[in-house]
Amino acid sequence: MNRLRTWLTTSELAGIAVLALIIVVVFPLTLDAFRLNLVGKYLSYAFVAVGLVMLWGYAGVLSLGQGVFFGLGGYCMAMFLKLEASDPISTKIQSTPGIPDFMDWNQITAVPFWWEPFRHLPFALVAVLIVPTILAFIIGFAMFKRRVGGVYFAIITQAVALVVTVLIIGQQGYTGGVNGITDLKTMLGWDIRTDDARQTLYFVTCFLLIGTILLCRWVQRTKLGTLLLAMRDKEDRVRFSGYDVANFKVFVFCLAAMLCGVGGALFALQVGFMSASFVGIVPSIEMVIFAAVGGRMSLVGAVYGTLLVNFGKTYFSESFPEMWLFLMAALFIGVVMGFPDGLAGVYNDHIKPWLSGRRRARPVSGEPPALPVTGPASGAGWNPSVPRTLDKSGTAGHGVGAAPARLSGANP
């Protein structure tokens, strides 16, 4: 516990605990199997959003191609599941039984060699982590070593997303094309389509997500995290101090890509199929919006942002099928214009002061209401680690003082 304290403040721990409580206890108790599965799907997007917090919020690098990594992770998983679902008995009606159905439709008569290793679960699981990371490394290395950043990097990643989409759709004999890889059934004989299995997968997703948040938090707390922030705000100074800035960026980019891969794999498991529609530009931008709505500096906020946008999308489109796009447009524009720090910003600016104000006011009930207090200092009463928080927001623009962070999203 003490070691935990060294890299998690009490309020952060409380934030993560509340999130864990909501997704692990409250949702399963209140939602039916169908809605819970939906939340599970959303949470698999949250991996991408958390990765974007690291990449965009902390390192100041915006990627519009995160869908590629999400898709790659998902495809690696889906390939394993599809091979398992395509046993000769259940595919006996095909002209070549025993191969995935879409290969049969495209006159392919044998499973291609690069599909073969995906018959083994360990290989597939490793691939889920490694394949997106390798691609991210190649892209990141080429870009960051040449000091490409900001808006430019965003657009190039967008181009990558486009290329990968066209490749996947064009090679439909090997990838399923537009339809994607559908009708996934079992994992090592375990039927992933039942409500029980979905519930289990939901909890797996929750725990992995919380683990991911802790991991990212740990990275933020290390010297690397500090350097990332410093680099985002004054890249040249970090470089002049003798650090190779590019390496850090490549690392964060790879980390974010790996998280996307995990999310994609969990998505494929929970939804039962994978298609190229996750790889393109549109989903990639939507994922950025999840992070933006949550607050690009807040790991926990990213999860809430993902949930909020997706609940909004589902609710609006169910209730106002004709109008929901307007509402979504309003949500995006509203968040960007009104709440640049997203939900986390709203929390830090309004709810947190109010909470701590109440806390302080409660013991001394005779006093007049607490003065309107703003900023991290207001947490004095309930946050034992005030000096740290203060220090942090002073130097790194964390929390309330995130204004400077916003200005430097891109390279000059």
Partner 1 sequence: MSAADYWNIVLMQGFAGLSLFSVLLLMGLGLAIIFGQMGVINMAHGEFMTIGAYTIFLCSSLTQTYAPGFMPYYFVFAIIAAFVFAFVFGWLSEWALIRHLYRRPLDTLLATWGLSLGMQQVFRSTFGAKEVSPTVPDWLLGSWTPHEGLDIPINGMFVMGLTLLVTGLVFLMLYRSRWGLRVRATVANRTMANAIGINTRKTDRMTFAIGCGIAGVAGAAFTTIGSTGPTSGSLYIVDAFLVVTFGGAASLLGTVASAFGIAQTQSVSEFFLTGSMARVLTLLLIISILMIRPQGLFAVKVRR
Partner 2 sequence: MTRRKNPATPASESEVLSPESLARRRLAMGLAAAPLAAAIPGLSFAADHPTAKVNTTGLAITDKEVTVGQLHSATGTMAISETGSIQAERLAIEQINAMGGVLGRQIKIIQEDGQSDWPTFAEKAKKLLVNDKVAAVFGCWTSASRKAVLPVFEKENGMLYYPTFYEGLEQSKNVIYTGQEATQQILYGLDWVAKEKGAKSFFLIGSDYIWPRTSNKIARKHIENFQKSKVVGEEYYPLGHTNFNSLINKIKIAKPDCVYAIVVGGSNVAFYKQMKAAGITADKQLLLTISVTEDELLGIGGENCNGFYACMKYFQSLDNPNNKKFVEAFKAKYGPKSVIGDVTQAAYLGPWLWKATVEKAGSFDIDKVAAASPGIEFKGAPEGYVKIHENHHLWSKARIGQMQTDGQFKMIAESPNLIEPNPFPKGYQ
Binding site for partner 1 (CB under 8 A): 56, 62, 64, 139, 142-143, 146-152, 154-156, 158-160, 162-163, 166-167, 169-170, 281, 285, 288-289, 292, 322-323, 325-326, 328-333, 335-337, 340, 406-407, 409-411
Q: Name the residue nearer to partner 1 (CB basis): 154 or 396.
A: 154
Q: Identify whether the C-beta of residue 171 lies closer than 8 Å to the C-beta of residue 104.
A: no
Shortest Å, Cβ 297 to partner 1: 14
Q: Name the residue nearer to partner 2 (CB basis): 10 or 194.
A: 194
Dmax over CA atoms of the chain, in Å, equals 84
Q: Name the residue nearer to partner 2 (CB basis): 86 or 383.
A: 86
**β pairing state of 190-191 and 186-187:** antiparallel
Q: Name the residue nearer to partner 1 (CB basis): 18 or 178.
A: 178
Interface residues toward partner 2, by CB under 8 A:
32-35, 37-38, 41, 90, 93, 95, 101-102, 105-107, 166, 169-170, 172, 177-180, 182-183, 185, 193-195, 271-273, 275, 277-278, 314, 317-318, 321-322, 324-325
> What DSSP state is assigned to residue 348?
I
Q: For the chain, how many helices (H) and strands (E)?
A: 20, 2
Q: Identify whether the C-beta of residue 131 lies closer than 8 Å to the C-beta of residue 246.
A: no
Both tokens of 391, joined, read 């220090």
Residues 6 or more apart whose Cβ sits within 8 Å of residue 24: 203, 206, 207
Shortest Å, Cβ 69 to partner 2: 17
Please report the beta strands in 79-217, taking only residues with DSSP state E, as ranges in sequence order: 186-187, 190-191
Q: Name the residue nearer to partner 1 (CB basis): 110 or 151.
A: 151
Dihedral (CA of 28, 34, 35, 39) sign? positive
Shortest Å, Cβ 44 to partner 2: 11
Task: State the binding partner of 112 from partner 1, partner 2, none, CB within 5 to 8 A by kind.
Answer: none
CA 290 to CA 212: how far, in whole Å?
17
Q: Name the residue nearer to partner 2 (CB basis): 76 or 136.
A: 76
Shortest Å, Cβ 93 to partner 2: 5
Q: Identify whether the C-beta of residue 276 lies closer than 8 Å to the C-beta of residue 177.
A: yes
Q: Name the residue nearer to partner 1 (CB basis): 176 or 379.
A: 176
Shortest Å, Cβ 170 to partner 1: 4
Task: State the binding partner of 260 from partner 1, partner 2, none, CB within 5 to 8 A by kind.
Answer: none
Shortest Å, Cβ 194 to partner 2: 6
CA 104 to CA 141: how far, in whole Å?
39
CA 257 to CA 137: how far, in whole Å?
9
